[in-house]
Structure 1
Amino acid sequence: MMSSSDASRHGYVLAVAPNGARKTHRDHPRLPITPAELARCARECLDAGASMMHLHVRKGDGTHSLEIEDYAPAVAAVRQAVGQALVIQLTTEAVGIYAPAQQMAVVRALRPEAASVAVRELVPTEVSGAEEAAEAEAGAFFHWMRDEGVVAQYILYDADDVRRYAALRARGVIPADGHWVLFVLGRYSVGQTSSPADLVPFLAVWRELGLDRSGIEWAVCAFGRQEAACAAAAILLGGHARIGFENNMLLPSGEVAADNAALLGAVRASVEGLGYGVCDAAALRRMTAR
């Protein structure tokens, strides 16, 4: 597996998160919701440099869904549009609707190429005395993902989450390889806006615990108009970035982006003059292979 220190030589990953769980066409007319809209967005973002799509789907009433009957047509539409040129990563986000058993069940049923999982959702620290059972169930699921070739991306919201991820990995609850992580910058900041400085606590703990030598890749996502700046900081420090309307619709200028592809273009413009090149899906697959 490629180490983060080699990332600038081999390219950085741009993942697109084009819609999220809550936004609608009222927020932006080019926010993709239907399978056809997601397919169009996938083609546009592939052309703009994305190697992965982080996929949310909706029920018929527009609300968040983890249901197989909603995921299947969206995945099929994106695959028809771009083939294997994008890694499709399913979300397992609960959004206050789904329990861990349901979050895990949809991944087991669909067996996607990749899925994102929030450590604090699937391995809660307080479950009315049922912590050990919850941890064991989550651990079995994480190892199933690895064994089945479903690449997990563990979502970490703060430095304490990084410490917990490291402890779970050290105890074997989280496998040692076959996955990567996502640092969510600014989730708990005033106005839920991010700045590049928000990355510092994550990386301080990451290095303190020796995870910078683990071979595990990391990426960031960020909120607000400094999304591209946060992504650039991550890339310059050896990481990768997830960009898109899920968390932000503003260009660095403060103008509303025309579409998700425009946000990807802003990141590329900020780093490629420094010699950093975007990688394709094949490189991402090699990066996160067991």
Structure 2
Amino acid sequence: MSALFVPSPLSLIMVAPNGARRTKADHSALPMTIAETVVAAKACFEAGAGALHAHVRDLTGAHVLDAGLYRELLSEMRVAVPQMQVQITTEAVGKYTPEEQRELVYKVKPDAVSVAIREMVPEGEEDQAKAFYHWAFAHECAVQHIVYSADDLDRFFDLAAAGTLAGESHQLLFVLGRYAASQESTPEDLVPFLEKLAERGKGQSLDWAVCAFGHRETECLVEAVRRGGKTRIGFENGLWNRTGERAIDNADRVSDLVSALKEHSLMPA
């Protein structure tokens, strides 16, 4: 465990194949079980995704923060797609407390986890959050900080300056469209994040990515890469390719993005 731990760079393309809320009623190819998630992840890796943002579900199909299920998924992924990075989530979905979110990570000890700033660090719990972030750093667990707005990003910079967050290199995820009308994002939604990044992020080691809800997901992600960022794509955020047609599956979404990035000379042809 190194005091000089620096997270591995985010993959250019991370796939989020299911999320916490959608089910097969939304799309028949949305993975619900661990076995289905592993199959989807392997297909997405072959299509061009280098990392998996993983959610697990219980027997009823509900999103759960279950350490045993996450350990099972990580074990299966090491066998099926050992080259693929796997990031677990602490998403609260309105039912998990910061303490329960932290306990999941303590039990699983993953290589990577995504954590929403507004969920993990409510006002008054900065000390508990600091202990968590410094534990993650000590255990070489890469934390990607999820921010839903420029205000969230401001809070991130404040927490980093106060020493609540550990390390000198940080990963971020800018979420576009989560609270927009009908959860539809546009490339312009990226502007407030980039303005705040320019204002407060100079001289800092920040590795950032974007996810975007709705029909214009691919377009938003292409803009993110054009502006120096990385991407998270998949059925958690959008079911549609840039043609407007529903994607066949998550690998189809990855292929759609790869094709678009190549067309814009943002990936090797």
Is the structural similarity TM-score above 0.5?
yes
Q: 1:282 is matched with which residue?
A: none
Give how far 1:277 is off: 2.7
Distance 1:273 1:190 in 2: 30
Give 2:255's aligned amino acid: G
Map Cα deviations across residues 113-154 of structure 1 (whole Å, 9 max, x no partner): 1000000001113xxxxx1xx100001101111111100000
Give 1:106's aligned amino acid: L
* CA RMSD, 1 decimal: 1.7
Give how far 1:30 is off: 1.0
Map Cα deviations across residues 191-237 of structure 1 (whole Å, 9 max, x no partner): 1110000000000011011x143121100000111100110000011
Distance 1:138 1:33 in 2: 30
> Aligned pair in 2 of structure 1 residues 217, 197: CA closer, same or farther (>3 Å)?
same
Distance 1:18 1:248 in 2: 10
Q: 2:237 is matched with which residue?
A: 247
User: What is the DSSP-based 3-state SS (H/G/I as helix, E as strand, rest coil) of the residue aligned with 1:231?
Assistant: helix
Counterpart check, 1:237 vs 2:227: yes
Q: 1:285 is matched with which residue?
A: none
Q: 1:4 is matched with which residue?
A: none
Match of 1:218 among 208, 225, 228: 208
Alignment of structure 1 residues 108-119 onto 2, 5 Å: 108-119=106-117
Aligned 8 A contact 1:225 1:253 in 2:
no
Map Cα deviations across residues 21-76 of structure 1 (whole Å, 9 max, x no partner): 11111211111111111111111010111111000001111111101122222222
* Count of aligned residue pairs for this structure pair: 261
Aligned 8 A contact 1:146 1:178 in 2:
no
Distance 1:151 1:253 in 2: 35
Distance 2:116 2:109 in 1: 18
Map Cα deviations across residues 74-95 of structure 1 (whole Å, 9 max, x no partner): 2222222101x11110000011
Distance 2:74 2:205 in 1: 29
Distance 2:162 2:18 in 1: 35
Counterpart check, 1:191 vs 2:182: yes
Q: TM-score, normalised by structure 1?
A: 0.86
Match of 1:162 among 139, 149, 153: 153
Q: 2:31 is matched with which residue?
A: 32
Structure 1 runs of 4+ off > 4 angstroms?
Answer: none
> Aligned pair in 2 of structure 1 residues 164, 176: CA closer, same or farther (>3 Å)?
same
Distance 2:27 2:168 in 1: 38
Q: Percent identity?
A: 42
Q: 1:20 is matched with which residue?
A: 19
User: What is the DSSP-based 3-state SS (H/G/I as helix, E as strand, rest coil) of the residue aligned with 1:232?
Assistant: helix
| Gap regions ≥5 residues in structure 1 | 2-9, 126-130, 279-290
Distance 1:17 1:213 in 2: 30
Q: 1:107 is matched with which residue?
A: 105
Distance 2:261 2:267 in 1: 8
Q: 1:202 is matched with which residue?
A: 193
Give how far 1:188 is off: 1.7
Counterpart check, 1:47 vs 2:46: yes
Give 1:33's aligned amino acid: M
Counterpart check, 1:143 vs 2:134: yes
Q: TM-score, normalised by structure 2?
A: 0.93
User: What is the DSSP-based 3-state SS (H/G/I as helix, E as strand, rest coil) of the residue aligned with 2:155?
Assistant: helix
Map Cα deviations across residues 243-270 of structure 1 (whole Å, 9 max, x no partner): 0000110111111100111111111111
Aligned 8 A contact 1:34 1:74 in 2:
no
Distance 2:255 2:41 in 1: 14
User: What is the DSSP-based 3-state SS (H/G/I as helix, E as strand, rest coil) of the residue aligned with 2:239?
Assistant: coil
Aligned 8 A contact 2:90 2:101 in 1:
yes
Give how far 1:11 is off: 10
> Aligned pair in 2 of structure 1 residues 107, 255: CA closer, same or farther (>3 Å)?
same
Specify which structure has the higher proportion of helix. 1
User: What is the DSSP-based 3-state SS (H/G/I as helix, E as strand, rest coil) of the residue aligned with 2:205?
Assistant: coil
> Aligned pair in 2 of structure 1 residues 11, 114: CA closer, same or farther (>3 Å)?
closer
Q: 2:259 is matched with which residue?
A: 269
Give 2:193's aligned amino acid: F
Aligned 8 A contact 1:186 1:198 in 2:
yes
